């Protein structure tokens, strides 16, 4: 059934819609049918027997009042008024002003006599029937501008004040605040502007949203028009907090912001949670203002002075860096790049001259190396002949020295293939003269001297000017052969006209020819014996068998016995020795032919002229390689992006080092970045930023010449490769300012350099000084 309510019970409430509905329980309480069931513990009225204590009070003299203590509330309020907004400044102010204490209670006027109905505190009021609110079927709502009850003192107060602040009367502020709106044509006239109000916490450029009697926002996901009186009413209506820019009602929203005008010097925004929090966030104190009055001092002027001084100091640094940058661009960089074409022509001319010089030195070197090769061949043949002679003498193959000399002559006469070449390779004296002129124009190009056969050391230019085609005076010319010598030496002359020596030579040639013809027989024998010999040398039992064989008695050779040497008056032994010598010549003919055709040359045998020319040629090659490297570097440097005016070229091949905490950092522009011995990354180009092309409407990549990317560094343990992003800032000197690691193995480095002080940075610094001035 519905209970009829008293009209006074139907009071107006603060809620905007239905208060709520209460539903009765649909289940019974435990043991509801037992009337004696106790659902909790009995609460005694006076567990401490306070009534008995009070009843035993007797008349006595009251104790003296305690000393008045510090008033923390008043101390904090005074600290904020004097600009001490931070916790540290607040404590410092409290220590400096210990006299701020709690005010003593006001004494009653003399002659005042209290009556029986005098109220010494807040008078109690009978509570209203709660059923009037819980079970109300109907209620009326107050208008938004109606008076509301103060539930604390149960007095009727005025309407909820709208936190608006009146427009300042100052003409300058009036123009500054209203100029954006006048330009947009959103204010009707200047006369009306003076009487209009601005919404607290809203920037002047956004005031047009609140000019009409209603404004639109999203409430509960739906676009809704709200009356302007709902703005800054301490109740968050809009989902985005648009209706509470000047209060903290929507502080739970991330994008709820309060606009600090800051006297128009440097306006900014703060979160609405910082409004009326007892801390002055805006320099003009507007975030703590109540009814247009703020307990915070206006520190915008002091802040502006501070920023002005910082801007002037910054401008001084930028000017110094800009001057250094311009000096570097006009000096070192201009000399390197602007004279590139002239340097290219000079380098090309020097390369042509050095290559001509190299060609002429190569000709002379080849000529001397041919002599050196012939010299080595002669020495090798001589050693070969001496070794053959010693071997034959030890085996008693020749009876006298004459026969040995004959064998030597038979072995080498007319068979030296190198002698078919002329000793003197003709050279071009005109080309040598041009090469010597190149040396005269490039003093110090070749420091090595040329050593002549007699030990004299002369410069290369003097060596090239020598007449190398002239026959050496000390060279012996071979006399023409006589008819007798030709009959004795040519074809079968040694057989018929050479006597015993000639027949010996022809016999030796014949035996070696037979040995070469039947050389496949020796190859077959060697092939058959190869496996046994290899196994004999590899098997471990070979050493034991060799030692056992050595202990066996020698096999009796007939040639070693005295009776065999004396047999037939020695003729049998001589015939046996000749046959064995001939067999050995035939058997060793392939080996002899191989050593003769491919003699072992001693590379350590060097002629002084050839060796000195090789050293000279190495120096020339080094000079040519150096010039070609410089030429290639200049060509590559012309293709590399070194920033505006190629200013950062001055950092190329230079490194900046600094120790930060426990690490030594090393920054090499266009090279690599290191942390001690760990490579953080190598040059990977300039950073690229996204920009929008207004003409095409598409995003384009723009190179940012103040950020260097370094990648492919040493891999982290179970992580990615290290990388660094270097930020270049303007400064007086080259230095590493700081290094951070915002994420794992990804570093951020700030480097200051005068080369970053561009004209745009200078213009920005001048604008900052002009703004604050």
Residue 750 has pLDDT above 70, yes or no: yes
Evaluate whether residue 613 is within a structural domain.
yes
> How many Å apart are CA 514 and CA 590, to the nearest integer?
10
> How many Å apart are CA 710 and CA 127, to the nearest integer?
75
Final residue belonging to a domain, choices 576, 602, 628: 602
pLDDT given at position 609 = 85
Domain containing residue 218: 161-298
pLDDT given at position 457 = 82
Q: What is the mean pLDDT of residues 703-721?
A: 91
Max mean pLDDT among 171-175, 240-244, 753-757 falls in: 753-757
Evaluate whether residue 85 is within a structural domain.
no
pLDDT given at position 639 = 79
Token pair 């940058």 is found at 325
Structure-model confidence comparison of residues 273 and 27, the more confident one: 273
For 311-330, what is each residue's pLDDT tens digit? 999 999 999 999 999 999 99
Evaluate whether residue 429 is within a structural domain.
yes
- One domain, residues 752 and 663: yes
Structure-model confidence comparison of residues 82 and 116, the more confident one: 82
pLDDT given at position 191 = 34
Residue 37 has pLDDT above 60, yes or no: yes
- One domain, residues 588 and 533: yes
Q: What is the mean pLDDT of residues 453-480?
A: 66
pLDDT given at position 738 = 94
First to last CA, the chain: 78
For 645-702, what is each residue's pLDDT tens digit? 889 999 988 999 999 989 999 999 999 999 999 999 999 999 987 544 444 445 456 8
pLDDT given at position 389 = 45
Max mean pLDDT among 428-432, 452-456, 604-608, 741-745 falls in: 741-745
Tell me the three state secondary structure of residue 550: helix
Q: What is the CATH number of the domain that holds 673?
A: 2.70.130.10
Confidence of residue 53 (pLDDT cuts 50, 70, 90): low
Q: Let me know: does 279 contact 85? Beta carbons within 8 Å.
A: yes
Structure-model confidence comparison of residues 46 and 112, the more confident one: 46
Q: Let me know: does 690 contact 645? Beta carbons within 8 Å.
A: no
Q: Considering only 545-549, 611-615, 665-669, which range has the smallest mean pLDDT?
A: 545-549
Structure-model confidence comparison of residues 255 and 162, the more confident one: 255
Evaluate whether residue 268 is within a structural domain.
yes
Tell me the three state secondary structure of residue 255: coil
- One domain, residues 455 and 390: yes
53-74 exposure pattern, b = at least 16 Cβ within 10 A, e = fewer: eeeeeeeeeeeeeeeeeeeeee
Structure-model confidence comparison of residues 265 and 554, the more confident one: 265
- One domain, residues 273 and 343: no
pLDDT given at position 397 = 38
With a pLDDT cut of 90, the percent of the chain lying above it is 19
Final residue belonging to a domain, choices 590, 621, 639: 639
Asked whether the CA dihedral 759, 760, 761, 766 is positive or negative, the reply is positive
Residue 82 has pLDDT above 90, yes or no: no
Q: What is the mean pLDDT of residues 716-745?
A: 93
Q: Considering only 10-24, 95-109, 242-256, 669-683, which range has the smallest mean pLDDT?
A: 10-24
Q: Considering only 174-188, 250-264, 425-439, 716-730, which range has the smallest mean pLDDT?
A: 174-188
**Pairing mode, strands 723-730 and 746-753:** parallel
What pTM, to 2 d.p., does this model score? Answer: 0.47
pLDDT given at position 194 = 34
> How many Å apart are CA 737 and CA 734, to the nearest integer?
9
- One domain, residues 589 and 652: no
> How many Å apart are CA 641 and CA 649, to the nearest integer?
9
Token pair 């090393």 is found at 666
Final residue belonging to a domain, choices 549, 573, 602: 602
Evaluate whether residue 114 is within a structural domain.
no
- One domain, residues 235 and 352: no
Confidence of residue 177 (pLDDT cuts 50, 70, 90): very low
Count of domains observed in the chain: 4
For 357-416, what is each residue's pLDDT tens digit? 888 888 888 888 888 888 888 887 777 666 554 444 433 333 334 334 433 433 333 333
- Cα 292 to its chain centre, rounded Å, is 55
pLDDT given at position 11 = 47
pLDDT given at position 30 = 62
Structure-model confidence comparison of residues 98 and 424, the more confident one: 98
Evaluate whether residue 156 is within a structural domain.
no
For 149-174, what is each residue's pLDDT tens digit? 444 444 444 444 433 333 333 334 44
- One domain, residues 273 and 363: no
- One domain, residues 186 and 264: yes
- One domain, residues 186 and 268: yes
- One domain, residues 633 and 754: no
pLDDT given at position 314 = 94
Phi-psi region of 410 (alpha: psi -120 to 50; beta: other; left: phi over 0): alpha
| Residue 481, both tokens | 């052969």
**Pairing mode, strands 672-675 and 678-692:** antiparallel
Mean pLDDT score across all residues of the chain: 73
Max mean pLDDT among 7-16, 38-47, 552-561, 629-638 falls in: 629-638
Q: Let me know: does 167 contact 292? Beta carbons within 8 Å.
A: no
- One domain, residues 397 and 453: yes
Three-class SS of 170-239: CHHHHHHHHHHHHHHCCCCCHHHHCCCEEECCCCHHHHHHHCCCEEEEEECCEEEEEEHHHCCCCCCCCC
Pick from 105, 100, 58: which is nearest to 80 by CA? Answer: 100
Structure-model confidence comparison of residues 511 and 179, the more confident one: 511
> How many Å apart are CA 225 and CA 218, to the nearest integer?
9
Q: Let me know: does 74 contact 274? Beta carbons within 8 Å.
A: no
Instruction: State the alpha helices, DSSP H only, in 472-598.
Output: 483-489, 493-496, 499-517, 519-538, 541-551, 562-565, 571-587, 589-597
With a pLDDT cut of 70, the percent of the chain lying above it is 61
Tell me the three state secondary structure of residue 602: coil
pLDDT given at position 691 = 47
Number of helical H runs and strand E runs in the chain: 22, 18
Q: What is the mean pLDDT of residues 232-239?
A: 90
- One domain, residues 166 and 292: yes
Residue 228 has pLDDT above 50, yes or no: yes
């Amino acid at each position: 059934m519905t209970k009829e309510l008293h009209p006074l019970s139907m009071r107006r409430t603060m809620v905007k819609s239905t208060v709520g509905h209460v539903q009765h329980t649909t289940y019974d309480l435990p043991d509801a049918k037992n009337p004696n069931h106790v659902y909790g513990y009995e609460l005694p009225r006076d567990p401490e027997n306070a009534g008995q204590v009070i009843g035993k009070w007797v008349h006595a003299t009251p104790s003296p009042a305690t000393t008045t203590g510090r008033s923390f509330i008043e101390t904090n309020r005074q600290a904020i008024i004097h600009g001490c907004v931070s916790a540290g400044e607040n404590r410092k102010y409290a220590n400096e002003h210990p006299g701020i204490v709690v005010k003593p209670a006001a004494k009653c006027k003399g002659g005042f006599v209290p009556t029986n109905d005098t109220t010494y505190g807040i008078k109690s009021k009978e509570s209203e029937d709660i059923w009037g609110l819980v079970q109300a079927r109907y209620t009326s709502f107050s208008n938004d501008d109606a008076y509301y009850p103060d539930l604390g003192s149960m007095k009727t107060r005025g309407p909820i004040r709208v936190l608006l602040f009146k427009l300042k009367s100052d003409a300058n502020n009036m123009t500054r605040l209203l100029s954006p709106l006048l330009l947009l044509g959103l204010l009707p006239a200047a006369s009306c502007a003076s009487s209009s109000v601005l919404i607290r916490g809203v920037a002047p450029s956004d005031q047009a949203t609140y000019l009409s009697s209603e404004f639109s926002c999203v409430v509960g996901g739906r676009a809704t028009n709200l009356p302007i009186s709902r703005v800054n009413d301490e109740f968050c209506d809009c989902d985005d907090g648009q209706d509470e820019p000047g209060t903290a009602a929507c502080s739970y929203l991330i994008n709820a912001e309060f606009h600090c005008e800051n006297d128009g010097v440097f306006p900014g925004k703060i979160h609405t949670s910082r409004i009326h929090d007892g801390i002055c966030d805006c320099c003009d104190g507007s975030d703590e203002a109540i009814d247009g009055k703020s307990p915070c001092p206006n520190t915008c002027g002091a802040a502006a002075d501070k920023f002005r001084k910082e801007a002037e100091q910054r401008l001084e640094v930028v000017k110094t860096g800009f001057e250094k940058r311009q000096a570097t661009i006009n000096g070192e960089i201009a000399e390197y790049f602007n004279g590139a074409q002239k340097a290219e022509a000079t380098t090309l001319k020097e390369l042509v001259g050095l290559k001509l010089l190299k060609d002429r030195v190569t000709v002379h070197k080849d000529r001397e190396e041919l002599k050196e090769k012939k010299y080595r061949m002669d020495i090798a043949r001589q050693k070969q002949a001496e070794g053959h002679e010693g071997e034959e003498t030890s085996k008693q193959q020749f009876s006298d020295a004459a026969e040995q000399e004959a064998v030597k002559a038979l072995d080498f006469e007319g068979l030296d293939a190198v002698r078919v070449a002329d000793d003197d390779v003709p050279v071009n004296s005109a080309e040598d003269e041009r090469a010597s002129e190149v040396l005269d124009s490039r003093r110090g190009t070749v420091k090595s001297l040329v050593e002549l056969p007699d030990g004299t050391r002369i410069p290369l230019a003097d060596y090239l000017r020598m007449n190398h085609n002239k026959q050496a005076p000390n060279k012996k010319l071979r006399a023409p052969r006589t008819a007798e010598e030709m009959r004795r030496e040519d074809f079968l002359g040694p057989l018929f006209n050479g006597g015993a020596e000639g027949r010996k030579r022809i016999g030796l040639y014949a035996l070696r020819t037979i040995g070469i013809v039947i050389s496949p027989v020796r190859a077959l024998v060697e092939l058959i014996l190869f496996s046994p010999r290899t196994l004999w040398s590899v098997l471990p039992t070979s050493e034991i068998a060799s030692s056992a064989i050595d202990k066996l008695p020698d096999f009796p050779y007939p040639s070693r016995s005295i009776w065999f040497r004396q047999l037939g008056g020695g003729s049998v032994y001589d015939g046996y020795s000749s046959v064995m010598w001939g067999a050995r010549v035939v058997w060793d003919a392939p080996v002899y032919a191989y050593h003769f055709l491919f003699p072992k040359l001693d590379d350590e045998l060097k002629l002084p002229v050839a060796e000195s020319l090789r050293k000279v040629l190495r120096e020339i090659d080094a000079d040519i390689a150096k010039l070609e490297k410089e030429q290639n570097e200049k060509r590559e440097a012309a293709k590399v992006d070194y920033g505006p005016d190629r200013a950062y070229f001055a950092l190329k091949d230079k490194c900046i080092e600094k120790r930060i905490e426990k690490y030594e950092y090393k920054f090499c522009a266009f090279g690599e970045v290191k942390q001690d011995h760990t490579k953080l990354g190598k040059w990977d180009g300039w950073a690229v930023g996204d920009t929008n092309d207004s003409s095409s409407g598409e995003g384009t990549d723009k190179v940012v010449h103040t950020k260097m990317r370094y990648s492919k560094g040493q891999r982290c343990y179970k992580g990615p490769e290290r990388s660094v992003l270097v930020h270049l800032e303007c400064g007086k000197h080259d230095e590493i300012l700081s290094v951070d690691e915002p994420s794992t193995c990804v570093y951020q480095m700030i480097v200051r350099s005068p080369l970053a002080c561009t004209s745009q940075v200078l213009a920005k610094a001048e604008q900052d000084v002009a703004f604050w001035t």
